[in-house]
Structure formats: C-alpha cells, structure tokens
Amino acid sequence: MTKAVVVFSGGQDSTTCLVEALQNYDEVHAITFDYGQRHRKEIEVAQALGKKLNVAAHKIINAGVLNELAISSLTREDIPVSAALQDNGLPNSFVPGRNILFLTLAGIYAYQIGASAVITGVCETDFSGYPDCRNDFVKAMNHALVQGMERDLTVITPLMWLDKAETWAMADHYGALSLVKDNTLTCYNGIVGDGCGECPSCKLRKAGLDTYIENKPAIMKAYLDKQRTASSRNGDKR
C-alpha cells in the first residue's frame, strides 16, 4: 500500500495537491498547522475539505511556537498585509522558518505511519518571493529528513514549476476546478473562494484564474507537457 502525507492548508495550492495525491496513492493523510495565523479560518476550511474528499486521516497540529517566535503580518493582527518589500527584500507576509517547521513535522508524521512521500504545494515559478518555497530549499530539507530519520522519504512538490494559471489547469485536469474555486481559502484576510480581492494572495490567484479561463487549451497543454517531463525526469516514485 502506498501512503502519502499532504501538507494541507485548505488553500488553492494544497487542495490541488491533495486532489492529485488521492488519485496517485492508496492512502492519503492530511496535516494542517495551527500557528495562530491571521487567516486561521483556513483550518476550518481544511477540515471541511478533508471530510469532503475523504482523506484517510487529518491531523491538526498546534504550531503556536511559530507565532511566538516569528513576527509577520500573518502572525500579528496589528501588521497590515502589504505587497511592498521590506528592507530584506521579502514581503511582510513571510513567516521565517514556517516551511522548515511544517516539513519537519510532516516528515515525523510520515515516519510514524510508514508513508513514502510528503507532498507540499510550494512553488518557485509564480509565488510571493518566500525563500522557503524554492526548489533548493526543498531538496535540502528532503536530504536532512532522510539523514536525520534514516528512512527513505521523498518531498514532492507538484506545483514547483507551474505558474498560477497552470495550477488552475491542474485542478481542472482532475475535475476539481469548481471545488478549488469555490471552497478553498487563499485570502490572507480569511475570505473563502474569490477572497477579498485586495491582498497579494488574492491578486495572484485571480490573475492566474483569469489567464487560464482566457487560454484554456494552451495552458492545459503546457501543464500536461510539464507533468510528462517531470514524470520522465523523476520516475515513478510511488
């Protein structure tokens, strides 16, 4: 039996990854983190989606220590979310160490249940500039997890080289376009579906959807071509 753990926030990206994982693995577990995020409604959304999609198990992990240590517009209500870059070149929505912690905890969970893969929806192609969404970071974390736990484990990033329009194409390919559009929460201000329309996350999501709707055949082809290339390069690790 093949097993996978999906790092699952209930947003567009992680839901699309979960839908794909359910097609590719015999047993899929979801893991969601409560770190006191300003858009913590995403936890309720993730729980509802997990039930709807019938995942094998769904863990909600208290990661409140991240809120205590990391100052960001996503961990402090009194810091407005802004697209402007800070002096360090990063947006103020960057939560330092977030994906380090999430992948570590997801790796521990995968170890305990005997899963061969941890799946996360990070993306280097069309993202907010977070350093912990880059491919080099994921490779380094994957190496550390394997070395630290003496267990074969692959961190899989289905969206790494997709832009947002192609991510919508991926959801559509798996028959989940409406599910992702209407039932996920990507908005930093906690509004389900199309969101507030003003925060950087909502703007990126909308631009991708509009582009996909306008150019469906071409973008679907681009997505499928990238999927075939990735499968050929990586082999079937499932």
Binding site members for Zn(2+): 187, 196, 199, 202
Residue numbers in the known binding site for ATP are: 8-18
**Which tokens sit at 54?**
């019938």
Question: 91: which DSSP letter?
Answer: B
Which helix (H) or strand (E) segment is 146 a member of? Answer: helix 135-149
Q: Nearest 5 degrees, angle CA 93-CA 8-CA 230? A: 95
Residue numbers in the known binding site are: 8-18, 187, 196, 199, 202
122 near 138, Cβ under 8 Å?
Answer: yes
Which residues lie closer than 8 Å to 194 by C-beta, 6 or more apart?
Answer: 181, 202, 206
Q: Is 10 left (phi over 0), alpha (psi -120 to 50) or beta?
A: left
